[in-house]
Structure 1
Amino acid sequence: MKLLFTLILLFGSTQYINKDITRKVISDDDYNYTFYVSNKNTLSYQDFKEYHWYKSGKIHSSFGGGDGQILHGHYNKTYRGNGIAEQGDFYYGLKNDTWRNWYENGKIKNISNWQKGFLSGTYNEFTESGVLLVSGKYKNNKKHGRWISHNTNDTLYFKKGEKVIKEAAEEEIEDDKKKGVIVKTKDFFKDIFKKKTPEEKEKAKKEKEIRKQKKEIEKKRKELAKKKEASKKNTPKKQ
């Protein structure tokens, strides 16, 4: 039979699940926290990632390492009054998989996706009344693809964190769709991926063909320039 016991402290409680994982329950003036920490001390840190760790009754975070017990496993934060505030999972100190935050009125605040410390995947932000405010996608911790501000109907396009023109971004989105990276959802992205009319399809087809022709012209221009340069080098100089 496994031995399971709880150590009650002034700031919360500690429950030893096994030799590798310990469950913690703590509180502050605003929130209650339930989470797990790893008892392993042999971790290899990466300087550019933010790690979350526990020490002296508090949760801390820092880039490139930690000075306490690293959070590992499910994390749950609730308001002292009532209701959930934040929920997600840690992978040895790094945010991982889907994270959700809530307003105190119970409405969802934002939904983000993580991959071992990096924002990766869809991101959605909502108002306190539950209306979708911002939607977009992250790739390797940077904005990537189409980002929509729904309250102003503004749309921006990003590639690896940098703003780009619409055509270039749409090509990136199309490539991601073919790879299965972008997943359509009925609630959040019905406006983003709505079906085009025959006129819109024809227009998009023509625009794509024009872009293709421009690329071919530019390619031929560069090839011709290279040939001229090579011809100059091979022509013997007059004495």
Structure 2
Amino acid sequence: MDLTFSTPSVPVIPVAGSQDFFPVHRIYCVGRNYAEHSKEMGGTGREAPFFFMKPADAVLPVAPGTLGQMPYPSKTNNLHHEVELVVAIGKAGSDISVEEAGQYIWGYAVGLDMTRRDLQAESKQQGRPWCTAKGFDYSAPISAIYAATGLQNIESAEIKLTVNGSSRQQSEINKMTWNVHEIIAQLSQFYALQPGDLIFTGTPEGVGAVQRGDILDAAIEGLGNLRVEII
């Protein structure tokens, strides 16, 4: 069988403390998974989780100790940051129970769900999908992935983000409406999860706009920092 063009390379993310790379299969995102962020976006608090997706090649991997560069996307005047805990899936499964969900976690990372907020608002108003608001190129900056083995207390860790040194977002992972195991269980009812899947688990309150030249410093306790410059 001949292919009409060369197969695109699989996006990969460095593994912390290793020469290995984690290949990306799909990117799932959870909407409004912190009560205070849900309220700032017009929600009412605890709601059933809902999901959207980004293309696998939307990732912008940033190696430890480096500054990533994200181009300011076209067709928006209101680009927002959303710092998130990212869960990396290590084995396949469907209809996973909450009790078994931990067996499917390969590791964790710090991520940014970058959002064209003006396009998202327009899509909501017209009842249309969010694809252009959420799934654009480089819309998923991500740190190196830390293997879950040996990590402790991730689900109670501090999560925060600064822009040019000024605090924008600060919370704790245990303030998520739906915890990591519950997210995996619910998502696996809709999709057969596969090794290489990434789950962006939602952002706390404090989202806001960024401009060219801004430096974002996102951090989760135990997972280091993710530093990105908007260019």
Q: TM-score, normalised by structure 1?
A: 0.21
Q: Which has the larger radius of gyration?
A: 1
Query: Structure 2-normalised TM-score?
Result: 0.22
**Of Structure 1 and Structure 2, which has the larger fraction of its residues in strand?**
1
